[in-house]
Structure 1
Amino acid sequence: MPNRGDRGGSKTRARIADVASELFLERGFDDVTIAEVAAAAGVSKVTVFSHFERKEDLLLDRLPDVVDIVHTAIRERADDISAVESLRQAALALAEKRHALSGLGGDLEPIMRTITASPALIARLRAFGYEIEMGLAAELDADAGFDGDSTLAAALLVAAYRTVAVETVRRRLAGDGLDDLAVSHRQRLNQAFDAIRLATG
């Protein structure tokens, strides 16, 4: 994996992801090969796999951002802010920015159509949900300021965020107005985090 500080490497990774996404959305994920992505991006297959561990990550390239967001929220929070509260603030910040990970940003219909048509992509999303849950539990377990049940808290946090984001995506695809939906999204996030705070102490 290239160093994140490598601007040239980052540009190459972004170009490969953009080219791959365009091909996947046009033809379907399962009908596009890595060789075709490499050729269209003007790189070798080796270069593709030096930036992406698996084919699914070419389309779901925003998923690693979740890990960085979680790590930053827990490790770099102020001393007077709990881990759960810091994660709430991070989630609300994504909504405020209308980040793609919130479900409030991006062109959702083509990518959702592509994902739902591919068992491999669906499986990768499920696997990532488990990975982020285990990673979050480990972060909480290692955090001196968190004295609750880290496994339970991680499971509740991941499930709550997924539920809110999925509902936001569903309503966007159904045609709900984005401004009203953003308000509802924030309200549901706060309700979820309030419940988690009570459940985990």
Structure 2
Amino acid sequence: MSEQTGLRARKRERTRDAIGDAAVSLFLERGFDNVSVNEIAAAAEISKPTLFRYFPTKEDLVLHRFADHQGEAARVVRDRESGVGPVTALHRHFRAGLDRYDPVTGLNDHPAVVAFHRMVFSTPSLAGRLTQYQLEDEAALADALGEGVQARLRAAQVLAIQRVLARTNWQRIADGRTALDVHPEAVADAEEAFGRLR
């Protein structure tokens, strides 16, 4: 990649982040359904067509924050050390996320993260779009696990476990507990869930 191409890519990524940040800020302030795409474009100081070049749907303005995790389970399986089973690798990865208080595990008590998750879980169009992301992840994980119905079933089970664990962790925090306080339960729940899967 040339220096010029790298510069353009970084500028594009900064623009994308700025648009997404402006949108999420407005959504958290006023609610997802109460903010128009025109208002987001105006806040980001871009045109509506430019906004749609970066984000094909209004829901993507929120869910782009999950983009770093797209295909993550499949990558964990493909990149695991020799001799480590797929479920063990996925369990270790999820556990490491808990220990980092990664928002994707639901174990993060920063007020903006808690509000962000509340918005996603309580807005039907966002929850629906998130399900689409999860189905894409499931297909990628199934491919990494092998062929046939067994790989698809295992992929669905793993991602369902991660989704339920993350939602449970978030709910405990949304109910007023701290991430530090919830951590031991979150780890124990993950141990039990992944243990049953093995």
- Verify same fold: TM over 0.5: yes
| CA–CA separation in structure 2 for the residues paired with 1:192 and 1:20 | 36
Matches within 5 A, 1:139-178: 139-141=144-146, 149-178=150-179
1:49 to 44, 49, 52: 52
1:110 deviates by 2.4
Name which structure has the greater RCO, CA cutoff 8 Å, separation 6+.
2
1:139 deviates by 2.1
Matches within 5 A, 1:2-151: 6-105=9-108, 106-107=110-111, 108-141=113-146, 149-151=150-152
1:58 deviates by 0.9
Count of aligned pairs between the two proteins: 191
| CA–CA separation in structure 2 for the residues paired with 1:100 and 1:39 | 29
TM-score normalised by structure 2 residue count: 0.86
| CA–CA separation in structure 1 for the residues paired with 2:77 and 2:167 | 24
| CA–CA separation in structure 2 for the residues paired with 1:50 and 1:86 | 36
Call closer, same or farther: CA 1:69–1:117 in 2, change over 3 Å: closer
The amino acid of 1:141's aligned partner reads G
The amino acid of 2:78's aligned partner reads R
Does the Cα contact within 8 Å between 2:71 and 2:141 map onto a contact in 1?
no
Q: Residue 78 of structure 1: SS of its match in structure 2?
A: coil
Does the Cα contact within 8 Å between 2:114 and 2:170 map onto a contact in 1?
no
What is aligned with 1:183? 184
1:112 deviates by 3.9
Does the Cα contact within 8 Å between 2:106 and 2:166 map onto a contact in 1?
yes
Q: 5+ unaligned residues in a row in structure 1: which ranges?
A: none
1:119 deviates by 2.0
Q: 5+ unaligned residues in a row in structure 2: which ranges?
A: none
- Percent identity over the alignment is 32
Give the structure with the larger helix fraction.
Answer: 2
The amino acid of 1:87's aligned partner reads L
| CA–CA separation in structure 2 for the residues paired with 1:155 and 1:57 | 23
TM-score normalised by structure 1 residue count: 0.84
